[in-house]
Amino acid sequence: MPYFCAIILKNMSTIRKEALQTVRTRQLIQVQAPTAKISQIFGENVFDRKSMREFLAEDVYESLMACIEKGTRVDKEIAQQVATGMKNWAMSKGATHYTHWFQPLTGATAEKHDAFFSLNSDGEAIEAFGGGALVQQEPDASSFPNGGIRNTFEARGYTAWDPSSPAFLFSGPAGKTLCIPTIFVSYTGESLDYKSPLLKSIGAVEAAGVSVAQYFDKNITKVYPTLGIEQEYFLVDGTLFAARPDLMLAGRSLFGHAPARGQQLEDHYFGSIPERVHAFMVDLEYEALRLGIPLKTRHNEVAPGQFECAPLFEEINLAVDHNQLLMDLMEKIAKRHHFRVLLHEKPFAGVNGSGKHNNWSLSTNTGKNLLSPGKTPKNNLMFLTFFVNTIKAFHDYADLIRAAIASASNDHRLGANEAPPAIMSAFLGEQLSRILDEIEKGKIEHNESEVRSLMHSIKAIPEILLDNTDRNRTSPFAFTGNKFELRAVGSSANSAQAMTALNTAMAKTLTDFKAEVDKLIGDGDSRETALLTVIQKYIKQTKKIRFEGNGYGEEWRLEAEKRGLANVRTTPHALDAMMTKKAIDLYTKTGVFTKREIEARHEILLEDYIKKIQIESRIIGDMALTKIVPAAIAYQNLLVNNLKGLKELGIKAESTKGQLDLLERTSKHINTIIEKVEAMRLTRKRLNEVEHARERSIGYCDEVKPFFDEIRYHADKLELIVDDELWPLPKYRELLFIK
Ligand code: ADP
Ligand code: MG
């Protein structure tokens, strides 16, 4: 081989080689094992009730609490005093800046920092933070997606303080910033974020929930949704990550052959947590707890390199804020440990994807979990009421909930490797299914004696549930003893989107339920008869969505089709459900969205989808042509030189068939890749001319995306052929198994 060729070959593989060398010599980052008890550090970076009591006058504190409790506006005078108290607290902890922290529709969180520093009328430097700055800000909003709501000449958007989520301090490399949770709305009042519709949906379900709960207990004056979010994620070494443009730019690997050993041995889940990861987790938990995020559980997940953490459940608005904050924190702390966290739903083909299990329930001011059965038949009737209403809400609006979990990245996960399919079904467990079947069969209508006997049989629910240990992990919506677990939410998603849909559907269902029950009572039925009559009706109406079997199986897909359940596999089609009359009626009547807001959101989600596929498509073209093909050509040249040399020496052709075959296969793969990349580029070019976002997104889905697998197939084949020394990208086996 000529000398210059050897030089080129050496250079080509250095990035991967050096990265692997770095990983081999990694030192464990020592973390200080927290010496203090969790109870001492929990929430120390939060302007929580304890800090408020210290930094606010008693009457100010009481007024603020009353506003939070009732969900009413904080008046100017009080806001001014809260701002001063908040600033003093933050500065006492070393903060220099403040920011309105909000959740625009891009999936991440956004902030713009301002200093407390100001000049007074004499030109002297002071630290100031007024009520106005606390309550409202006007970030330069033109860069956030708005779906046509904000015209370019009217780029104003406002952030407004959400007092129900406490302010907190976030530490950066150069100091601390006071972060104030806010909603983000346009100048004309339309919501441009995830939080404002979530808050509206909470209001709707609270009101409807109280009115129904009052059938059972007049002391219930507040009903609120609770949420516990289990977060799955992958960790990869930071240096290997940096050697993979696909991980860096798309958050997932777009190439990579499955390793000989993946997750088949299923030894990762119960294996011990690798030391480096353990250090990361301890660090993460420490920072999270100080921010008031009640992390409780940590463990390995099924795939190598995959992990999970879960907090104690909280009031839903707080749980969502905390999950968003947690994701920021994970990224920050992962870097500290020379890791990168992958929150993508499917970072690696062929192994498990990551989800965000949303455990949802309803609680009351009396401390009752409405999805937890009680000790008396009356309490159990309350449980059954909320339980069956949840099933009904999920049944009636399954397509809307499917739309709310749709994203380009979640499309890869739903229905693949141990993730719930795109078919929305609910799992109740054998015992509860049997009780519902029993109620379904009863001759309840205007029949007090049948109702009495049924009331007797539902007395047994609590004992039954206690030893009801059957868990179905294949269902997108599973009842798990005292809550429903929506397992279809993607790991990178903002949970607010799915939770807004679920809360709103529940609000509507409970409102209709109440109207039906009241009518029967008005017609002379007893309360119990009326309740059970409507419950029975709902049980009958929702039967098709109940499924207790294996949700991953092909049989379920066929069975679901027979039942008429939708199985919408891709985002552009799933999003159609947002624009139906039913969806628009639901959202507008409950006051959660206006029609214009829904249209804007639909547009934003489609555009987001297109952009994601477009970016991935470009990365694939780029990596294929500038990394994979050159490596393969270098190998091809090696083979050519080798064959030529052998021939010169007079070696017979039949003794070099193997090399020739390798050469032919290598050439074929290279050629196909080059052709497909060009065809993909032309397809993109054509589709970019399509005016309507929906059509364009379907084009990207049906015409561009299929190229990904085709190109990858050939590239991954090359990975198996080309000299390992020449291969430029860290391989799956190097990425997935953390030392
Ligand atoms: P799993 O077996 O699914 O891991 P866990 O008992 O660990 O279940 O709980 C998972 C999540 O469910 C946790 O975040 C927990 O706080 C949450 N959770 C428990 N009870 C409720 C509830 N009443 N409302 C909302 N979430 C809840
Ligand atoms: Mg769970």
Measure the CA–CA gap between 560 and 705, rounded to whole angstroms: 26
**Collapsed DSSP state (helix, strand, coil) of residue 13:** helix
Spatial contact of 113 and 177, defined as CB atoms under 8 Å apart: yes
Q: Say how far apart CA 590 and CA 397 lie, in whole Å.
A: 14
pLDDT at 155: 52
Q: What is the pLDDT of residue 141?
A: 59
Q: Ligand nearest 361 Cα, by number? A: 1
Contact 241, 248 (CB under 8 A): yes
Whether the pLDDT of residue 685 is over 50: the answer is yes
**pLDDT per position as a tens digit, 181-223:** 999 998 788 898 999 999 999 999 999 999 999 999 999 999 9
How far apart are alpha carbons 406 and 572 in whole angstroms?
8
* Shared fold status for 3-27+609-736 and 38-193: no
What are the distances in angstroms from CA 154 to CA 151, 157, 370, 432?
Answer: 5, 9, 45, 54
Residue 466 Cβ contacting ligand 1 at under 6 Å: no
Gap between the Cα atoms of 2 and 4, Å rounded: 6
Q: Is the CB of 483 under 6 A from ligand 1?
A: yes
- Confidence (pLDDT) at 173: 77
> What mean pLDDT do residues 646-657 have?
95
- Strand-pairing partners, residue 423, are 567
Least confident of 17-21, 372-376, 548-552: 372-376
What's 312-330 look like in SS3? Answer: CCEEHHHHHHHHHHHHHHH
Q: Where are the domains of the chain?
A: 3-27+609-736, 38-193, 203-593
pLDDT (mean) for 342-361? 95
Closest CA to 361 of 469, 470, 246, 224: 224
- Exposed/middle/buried for 38, CB within 10 Å: 0-12, 13-18, 19+? middle
Which is more confident, 516 or 446? 516
Give, in degrees to the nearest 5, the angle at Cα 636 between 630 and 637: 95
Neighbouring residues of 611: CB distance < 8 A, sequence distance ≥ 6: none
- Looking at the predicted structure, is the pLDDT value of residue 739 above 90? no
Query: Is the pLDDT at 485 greater than 60, yes or no?
Result: yes
572-611 burial, b if ≥16 CB within 10 A, otherwise e? bbbbebbeeeebbebbeebebbbeebbbbbbbbbbbbbbe
Shortest-distance atom of ligand 1 to CA 363: 23
Report d(CA 159, CA 525) in Å as an integer.
50
Cα distances (angstroms) measured from residue 550 to each of 199, 354, 411, 477, 582: 35, 19, 20, 13, 30
Q: By C-alpha distance, which of 353, 497, 502 is closest to 416? A: 353
Query: Predicted confidence band at 693 (pLDDT cuts at 50, 70, 90)?
Result: very high
Q: Does domain 38-193 have CATH number 3.10.20.70?
A: yes
Going from the Cα of 616 to the center of ligand 1, the distance in angstroms, rounded, reads: 35
Q: Which atom of ligand 1 is nearest to the CA of 482?
A: 23
For residue 590 and ligand 1, the question of a CB distance below 6 A is answered with: no
pLDDT of residue 4: 45
Non-local (6+) Cβ contacts of 131 within 8 A are: 76, 77, 79, 80, 81, 82, 83
φ, ψ at 429 (rounded to 5°): 90, 150
pLDDT per position as a tens digit, 559-592 = 999 999 999 999 999 999 999 999 999 999 999 9
Which residue would you say has higher pLDDT here, 174 or 281?
A: 281
Tokens of 597: 């807001």
Tokens linked to 734: 């190097």
Hey, which of 66-70, 295-299, 432-436, 615-619 has the most confident mean pLDDT? 615-619
Q: What CATH number does domain 203-593 carry, 3.30.300.130, 2.60.40.1190, 3.30.590.10, 3.30.565.10? A: 3.30.590.10
Provide the whole-model pTM: 0.94
| Spatial distance between the Cα atoms of 477 and 133, rounded to a whole number of angstroms | 42
The answer on pLDDT for 694 being more than 60 is yes
Over residues 418-474, the pLDDT tens digits come to 688 999 999 998 889 999 999 999 998 888 888 988 888 787 777 666 555 456 778
Model confidence band, residue 5 (pLDDT cutoffs 50, 70, 90):
very low
Q: pLDDT value at position 140?
A: 64
**What value does the mean pLDDT take over residues 527-553?**
95
As its CATH architecture, domain 3-27+609-736 has Up-down Bundle (1.20)
Mutate to test the pocket of ligand 1, among 223, 313, 465, 482 (most ligand atoms within 8 A of CB): 313
- The arithmetic mean of pLDDT across residues 154-180, rounded, is 87
Average pLDDT over every residue of 242-251: 97
- pLDDT value of residue 111: 81
**Lowest mean pLDDT: which of 32-41, 342-351, 400-409, 576-585?**
32-41
Percent of the chain topping pLDDT 90: 73
